[in-house]
Amino acid sequence: MKKSTASVLAVVLSAGLAAAAMGADAIKERRALMKANGEATKPLVPMMKGTAPFDLATVQKALKTYMNAAEKMPALFPDDSKTGDTHALPAVWENKADVDARFKKLGEDAKAALAEVKDEASFKAIMPDFFKNCGGCHEKYRAKQT
Amino acid sequence: MTPALPFAVGAAIVALAAAVGWIVMAPKPIDSAVAAEVSEPGDEAAGKTVFFVGGCASCHMSPGQKDPLRLGGGMELKTPFGSFFPPNISPDPRMGIGRWAPAQFANALLAGVSPDGEHYFPAFPYPSYRHMSVKDVRDLLAFLRTTVPVAEPSRPHEIPFPFSIRRLVGLWKRLFLPAIARPLASDPTDLEDLGRYLVEGPGHCAECHSPRGWFGEIIESRRLTGGPLPTSKGKAPDITSAGLKNWSESDIADALSTGLTPEGDTLGGPMAEVVRNLSQAPERDLAAIAHYLKTYKAGAGR
């Protein structure tokens, strides 16, 4: 009897720890995907300004990075990842359907841009609106601490 | 001598002090010269630029609304002193400011005094707006008159006692609004002057990007070095030359109009709305703002 209580307790405890670890893992994964997005975008910013030469391969790589993030992100907001080392606001969990829809649109827009951006002119025509996908979520769902 | 006499003297002194205090805290409206000047006809097109640089819509739109030209108010501004609800500033004659005389409008922006002769709470950023030129105030009013009339009443503030006593704001103004020349120079040929004017006047950047003291006053020595966001967790970052050391002036100006940072991030939180406003501003204004911030040293005042 005593032994079984202890083992139940152990199972409960380890499940709790595993859940906590999962939440922390989700945060880590979210941050890694978002960091990759930022790094992919960084060379695009001077291209938008015209201070760096347009490079189609770099743009396409960035768009594929966004598509990857858009696909994976919706599953990375389990309830146990609300707090911790994250800039995500509680609003994410209060409006999860909206968040999911925004990632879906991000993925679709990135896919469309991948087909449509062919040169500097189409890049400069399409991307400013595309980046509103990023800003839209960062406005409602993220609070940077620095 | 009866014990009642010293008590009466004491009470009289307290009453006198209170009366003097009450008078000291009285709202001080703009002078008649400014009132006359602001009553000249304004330029709507120029006022539109002032409107977007000033970011009026960020607070005076109604919650959940996207059209920046419907200024029905009501967007909650949570502060340590309670919740403020920016009022309806649409041209509706009953619910908005449609019947306001230009001098009343100037009193609000430049002196923080309402048409009823009461103090506004400084959640309305007149500590910055009071540095605006009379021309900008006049043009802004001309533009506001062209926006959509919204027939919704303003929601009252939810401010607990004693902060709810408007007269006390008079003391706050005496303590924390240093008497400096108004308006700030806005010589459009001098990039630094123009930048200072836009940042410290209509742009009111310091209102979020500065830490505040016990009484909600901006800590001047740390002006523009960043502050906590009033409505959400997160921080309005340091935008002095130290905070922007990895940004060029053109990075700053571009970020203000596109939202994209040189790190490949986008400006988020309440700054996203500021970007929507500033994307309507002339390039030269953005260049001036960028120049001023990039050269601003913490503790330099304004």
Q: What is the pLDDT of residues A48-65, one digit of tens each?
A: 989 999 999 999 999 999
Mark whether B164 and B212 lie in a shared domain: no
* pLDDT at residue A6 tops 60: no
Contact state of A135 with B263 under an 8 Å Cβ cutoff: no
Mark whether B114 and B190 lie in a shared domain: no
- ipTM of this complex: 0.83
Mark whether B41 and B119 lie in a shared domain: yes
Contact state of B269 with A146 under an 8 Å Cβ cutoff: no
Dig out the tokens for B163 from the structure. Answer: 């902060």
CA neighbor of B207 nearest in space, from B196, B194, B197, B217: B217
Q: What is the pLDDT of residues A99-112, one digit of tens each?
A: 999 999 999 999 99
Mark whether B143 and B208 lie in a shared domain: no
Q: What is the mean pLDDT of residues B177-181?
A: 66
Q: What is the pLDDT of residues B79-124, one digit of tens each?
A: 999 999 999 999 999 999 999 999 999 999 999 999 999 999 999 9
> How remote is the C-alpha of B263 from its chain's centroid?
30
Cis previous bond, B178, omega within 30? no
Q: What is the largest CA-CA distance in chain B?
A: 81
Q: What is the mean pLDDT of residues B155-174?
A: 94
Q: List alpha helices for chain B, DSSP H.
A: 4-24, 32-38, 44-54, 56-60, 102-106, 126-129, 134-144, 168-176, 191-200, 249-258, 270-278, 283-295
Name the residue among B229, B250, B264 with its Cβ closest to that of A143: B229
Q: Which fold has domain A2-141?
A: Four Helix Bundle (Hemerythrin (Met), subunit A) (1.20.120)
Q: How many domains does chain B fold into?
A: 2
Name the residue among A89, A135, A143 with its Cβ closest to that of B266: A135
Average pLDDT, chain B: 92
Separation in Å, CA B212 to CA B44, B79, B190, B197, B223: 35, 11, 31, 21, 9
> How remote is the C-alpha of B277 from its chain's centroid?
15
Closest-CA residue of chain B to A41:
B264
In-domain check, residue B239: yes
User: Do A90 and A99 contact (CB within 8 A), yes or no?
Assistant: no
Domain containing B61 equals 29-180
Residue among B58, B208, B258, B274 with most chain A CBs within 10 A, to mutate? B258
Mark whether B73 and B198 lie in a shared domain: no
Q: What whole-number percentage of chain B has pLDDT above 90? A: 80
Distance (Å, whole) CA A37 – CA A73: 12
* pLDDT at residue B37 tops 60: yes
- What is the model's pLDDT at position A36? 97
Mark whether B163 and B202 lie in a shared domain: no
* pLDDT at residue A12 tops 90: no
In-domain check, residue B20: no
* pLDDT at residue B35 tops 70: yes
CA neighbor of B254 nearest in space, from A35, A52, A21, A82: A52
Block residue for tokens 């890694």: A32
Q: Which of A12-16, A21-25, B26-30, B34-38 has the lowest mean pLDDT?
A: A12-16
Name the residue among B250, B260, B263 with its Cβ closest to that of A131: B260
Mark whether B62 and B142 lie in a shared domain: yes
Q: List alpha helices for A1-146, DSSP H.
A: 2-41, 44-49, 56-72, 91-94, 96-116, 120-130, 132-141
Q: What whole-number percentage of chain B has pLDDT above 70? A: 95
Contact state of B234 with A143 under an 8 Å Cβ cutoff: yes
- Taken in order B262, B268, B273, B274, the sign of the CA dihedral is negative
Reported confidence tier of residue B2, pLDDT bands at 50, 70, 90: low
- What is the model's pLDDT at position A17? 46
Contact state of B254 with A45 under an 8 Å Cβ cutoff: yes
Distance (Å, whole) CA B91 – CA B100: 9
* pLDDT at residue A146 tops 90: no
Q: What is the pLDDT of residues B251-265, one digit of tens each?
A: 999 999 999 999 999
Mark whether B66 and B165 lie in a shared domain: yes
Closest-CA residue of chain A to B250:
A49
* pLDDT at residue B231 tops 90: no
- What is the model's pLDDT at position B299? 82
* pLDDT at residue A144 tops 90: no
CA neighbor of A99 nearest in space, from A132, A131, A137: A137
pTM over 0.80: yes
Q: Which of B180, B199, B223 is the last residue of a domain?
A: B180
Residue among B254, B260, B261, B263 with most chain A CBs within 10 A, to mutate? B260
Distance (Å, whole) CA B51 – CA B121: 21
Mark whether B156 and B206 lie in a shared domain: no
Is B301 or B279 the better-scoring residue by pLDDT? B279
